Structure 1
Amino acid sequence: RPLVFDKMESLVREMQDPENGVPVRSQKLFLTSIPSAFMGYDMIEWLMERLNIEDSVEAIHMANLLCQHGYFFPVGECNKNLSVKDDSSLYRFQTPYYWASQNHSPENSEYVIYLYKRSLRNKQKHGLEEYELEALSRLKRQMAHKWEFIVMQAEEQVRLAKDRKKGDKIVTDSQERAYWRAYRPPPSFLNCLEQPPFPTNSSWISLAPSSNQRDDSAGASCTTASGQLVRARIKVSVAAETLQQHCATYSEYDPFLHTPQPSNPWLSDDPTYWILNAAAVEVPTEKRAKRWAISIEDLVTDQTGLQELTNYLRKEYSHENIRFWLATNQLRSGPASKILHRVQEIYQEFLAPGAPCEINIDGRTMDIVQHEMKRPSRFTFDKAAEHVYNLLLKKDCYPRFVRSDHYKQLLANALQPCQKKRFFSFGATGKKKSIVAATSGVSGIG
């Protein structure tokens, strides 16, 4: 689990301390008594004192993060935006059972039981919102094969809830509702608990092997592990030499080791250096174009270099590989609401049989992609993208680009900024007096 959960939860536990924490008690709202609640300005004041925060805006920001991660919630506003106000608004702590560190990915079966349970109760207090009704009908169609079990579970939970005390029932219902508000938020609302932007272990699981394949795989793993024990490690001298070569290669591109051309923007007000080295330019500088020939990483991490590589591959009628690689990179950082739609678009354009821009990958990689398509995510095409990058772009397209007339023409037309001359250098030719000479002259006069 992420370390940030430990930090947040330790702070929340301090907030719940009966003696030194945020004061929690039954609050009066008009003629209604609200149990186990605290006020917004009490929490903001506690955070400012505990964390030595001088500005209340920073304390409100910290409280909003804790609220959006589900550690407490506004009372009576679970269907609205999870935000904290520095006033008398009421909030309630979430039970540790529903903390983010305990429930990373709740199942759809749990969600549909919760929705159906609310539909069985008083519609005035527990009525479903429009987006929840749509989710209930959709999940009912998907889980038709076990709908009887879901109905039985929901009815049993409703029956058990009737035996609880009224105060406990109010607190428990609000905590459960706030939990699903954080994990299944309304459309267009912020969700801090969605799938993290890095692949989990389940994203890299390949197709389930047979028993014989498992035995062979276990034997191969033992052989590999035994070989690792006796494998010679790289020598320090070789590592130092490699590091020295790397520094020698990239030293001329370091603006602190070599004077930038045409002028040093850190010492002057001339913006020419930033203009010539902007992310996207029509004509690159010669130094910038030469760097593209060092490695493919230097080429694709430069926006202008990536555009030139794409233009070259388009002329060679082989730009589907770079387009697929770019599409998978955009998929990893795209919005969660469009992932399923974007995964289908990429598959139909590049991987489906008879696709308009079909890429060439081996059968094993295609099997992994087909397996990942059953549970689409940001990382569905990572194995295919790795195959395209290492075997097609790096070993085929990139060497052809560096040797091509297109790249040679770029070098020939590249800009060569020269260092600007100083027309006025007042006092630059004269020698400055040293501190020692000036001091001796003063003593001689005295």
Structure 2
Amino acid sequence: MEKPLVFFSQLNMSEPKEKTFYKVIHAIGKEASNKDIKNSVSPEEAVKWGESFDKLLSHKDGFNAFTRFLKTEFSEENIEFWAACEDFKKSQEPHQLLHKAQAIYEKFIQNDAPQEVNLDFHTKETIFKSISQPTIHSFDAAQSRVYRLMEQDSYTRFLKSDIYLDLIKGRPPRTTNLRRRSRSFTFNEFPDEKPDLAIWL
């Protein structure tokens, strides 16, 4: 069932702070694609990224390498959504929460969003109902699901990719062929998965 788009008449999207945030979430991940992973990353450091997904994302070069890999599979919306949620949770003022929540919803959540992430109906519906009065936890369930999807699906392929193998062997980055991957993989395959919010604390 299609849900109507949400419009907030009280939002003044012409305000500089909100414009800045829109630019930020549209630019997330671009830094990784516009510059190669530098050879300053030691093979020893790269090997540590294979110990856990959390170690990979907590390292700037690891985050960039993983983003570069997701771009080869046309699934970078997942890491960009995760990063936008991380930024969202740092908001201090209610008006910041409202504007950022709307920006995230329009870019990643609503049906036919430009970078729609793969979420189940219940999670989308919960966000839809709370978006007019968001809290810093409004996207926790969605962020956790996307994290788990990347960890259990994309991360395992990343560890076998040329991008990662070149890093742990100390080779310079090579040109990567882009390939489109099916998005039939859904979160419904993990019905018992519970959000683990401690991983971001």
Give the TM-score taking structure 2 as reference length. Answer: 0.63
Matched, 1:288 2:45: yes
Matched, 1:413 2:149: no
8 Å contact kept, 1:349–1:357: yes
8 Å contact kept, 1:401–1:407: yes
Between Structure 1 and Structure 2, the one with more strand by share is: 1
8 Å contact kept, 2:98–2:133: no
Q: What letter corresponds to residue 288 of structure 1 in structure 2? A: E
8 Å contact kept, 2:88–2:136: yes
8 Å contact kept, 2:50–2:56: yes
Matched, 1:326 2:71: no
Match of 2:114 in 1: 356
For 1:411 and 1:387, how far apart are their aligned partners in 2? 29
1:44-443 equivalence runs, <5 A: 282-283=38-39, 284-336=41-93, 337-390=95-148, 392-413=149-170
8 Å contact kept, 2:44–2:168: no
8 Å contact kept, 1:310–1:322: yes
For 2:123 and 2:47, how far apart are their aligned partners in 1? 34
Give the length in aligned residue pairs.
135
Structure 1 counterpart SS, 2:75? coil
**Structure 2: which 5+ residue stretches go unaligned?**
1-9, 11-36, 173-201
Q: What letter corresponds to residue 60 of structure 2 in structure 1? A: Q
Say what the alpha-carbon RMSD is for the aligned residues: 1.8
What are the superposed Cα offsets for residues 346-390 of structure 1, whole Å, 9 maximum, x if unpaired?
Answer: 000001111100011111211221222132122211110011111
For 2:84 and 2:52, how far apart are their aligned partners in 1? 21
Match of 1:67 in 2: none
Q: Identical aligned pairs, as a percentage? A: 31
Q: What letter corresponds to residue 408 of structure 1 in structure 2? A: L
For 1:354 and 1:306, how far apart are their aligned partners in 2? 27
Q: Which runs of 4+ in 1 moved over 4 A?
A: none
Instruction: State the structure with bigger RCO (CA 8 A, min sep 6), 1 or 2.
Output: 2
User: What's the CA shift for 1:414?
Assistant: 5.8
What are the superposed Cα offsets for residues 256-294 of structure 1, whole Å, 9 maximum, x if unpaired?
Answer: xxxxxxxxxxxxxxxxxxxxxxxxx72211110000111
8 Å contact kept, 1:368–1:383: no
Higher alpha-carbon Rg: 1
For 2:45 and 2:58, how far apart are their aligned partners in 1? 12
8 Å contact kept, 2:53–2:155: yes
For 1:307 and 1:404, how far apart are their aligned partners in 2? 14
1:13-28 equivalence runs, <5 A: none
For 2:86 and 2:96, how far apart are their aligned partners in 1? 14
For 1:414 and 1:302, how far apart are their aligned partners in 2? 19
For 1:340 and 1:374, how far apart are their aligned partners in 2? 7
**Structure 1: which 5+ residue stretches go unaligned?**
1-137, 139-280, 416-446
Structure 1 counterpart SS, 2:159? helix
